[in-house]
Amino acid sequence: ETGVTQSPTHLIKTRGQQVTLRCSSQSGHNTVSWYQQALGQGPQFIFQYYREEENGRGNFPPRFSGLQFPNYSSELNVNALELDDSALYLCASSPDRIRKNTEAFFGQGTRLTVV
Amino acid sequence: GNSVTQMEGPVTLSEEAFLTINCTYTATGYPSLFWYVQYPGEGLQLLLKATKADDKGSNKGFEATYRKETTSFHLEKGSVQVSDSAVYFCALSDKTGNQFYFGTGTSLTVIP
């Protein structure tokens, strides 16, 4: 068991709405990364949070935003949902920022469906 | 830039067959290479990794060797089981970045 938990596991939203996804990192880990996995595709990097600050961002628009809290848990917020935002959102917890030898532990994901 | 290319799936094998899933990469510098596995309805689990050229990662009967000369990290298993049915992702990370770069995944189904 990885110790990384995400909530909720599934949710359905309407186009134009806003959504918040949550992630509890593994004990002792100070870094959380978020990935979007569209159906049949590999995970795509959204952003990483290290000690409560954003530490890198992938090719996602500003309506994707995040937070990291003092206990290193994290939220992913998506505004103005679009149909293409339907995907599995994965949270990855690591003991430090992702570098060459850093391992990350993934949660089970949140399946978001936008209708 | 960094990228990972995996062989297209899906792959269907009979139990006890030999498995190879090809993975090649493009990277700036000398990355670490990973194989992650995703079982149905679950997140990603690290299967094995290699951090430098000629390293061999191994776990649960799976192996992969970091080949710098061919920029490859092919996954192999000598005898697959039904329980190995999953999607397998090749990935890399490097010292300059802050993320993993994943391939598109290869779906494996093992039939009894």
Q: Is the pLDDT of residue B91 over 50?
A: yes
Q: Kindly report the average pLDDT of chain B as a whole number.
A: 93
Confidence class for position A1, pLDDT limits 50, 70, 90: very low
pLDDT at residue B9, rounded to an integer = 84
Q: Within the 49-68 window of chain B, which residues sit less than 8 Å (CB to CB) from chain A?
A: 49, 51
pLDDT at residue A15, rounded to an integer = 98
pLDDT at residue B97, rounded to an integer = 65
In this prediction, residues A70-92 reach a mean pLDDT of 97
Residue A56 touches partner B, C-beta closer than 8 Å: yes
pLDDT at residue A100, rounded to an integer = 63
Interface test with A, best of B96, B98, B102, B104 (most A CBs within 10 A): B98
In this prediction, residues B46-64 reach a mean pLDDT of 95
Q: Is B76 exposed, middle or buried (0-12, 13-18, 19+ CB in 10 A)?
A: middle
Question: CB A45 to CB B41 under 8 A?
Answer: no
Q: Kindly report the average pLDDT of chain A as a whole number.
A: 93
pLDDT at residue A60, rounded to an integer = 97
Whose CA is closest to B22, among B91, B101, B90, B102?
Answer: B90
Question: CB B99 to CB A103 under 8 A?
Answer: no
Across A17-21, B30-34, B95-99, the highest mean pLDDT is recorded for A17-21
Residue A30 touches partner B, C-beta closer than 8 Å: no
Interface test with B, best of A100, A103, A105, A108 (most B CBs within 10 A): A100
Q: Is the pLDDT of residue A97 over 80?
A: no
* Contact in structure between A112 and A11 (CB atoms under 8 Å): yes
Q: Is the pLDDT of residue B29 over 90?
A: no
Residues B105 and B5: their CA atoms lie apart, in Å, by 9
Residue B5 touches partner A, C-beta closer than 8 Å: no
Lowest-confidence range among A21-25, A38-42, A95-99, A104-108? A95-99
> Element (H or E) spanning B40, and its range?
none
Exposure string (b/e) for A58-73, b if CB count within 10 Å is 16 or more?
Answer: bebeeebbbebeeebb
φ, ψ at A4 (rounded to 5°): -95, 120
Question: CB B43 to CB A33 under 8 A?
Answer: no
In this prediction, residues A12-24 reach a mean pLDDT of 98
Q: Which residues in chain A are contacts of B103 at CB distance < 8 A?
A: 42
Q: Which residues in chain A are contacts of B4 at CB distance < 8 A?
A: 42
CA atoms within 13 A on the CB side of A95: 6
Q: Is the pLDDT of residue A110 over 70?
A: yes
In this prediction, residues A49-70 reach a mean pLDDT of 94
* Of residues A90 and B9, more confidently modeled: A90
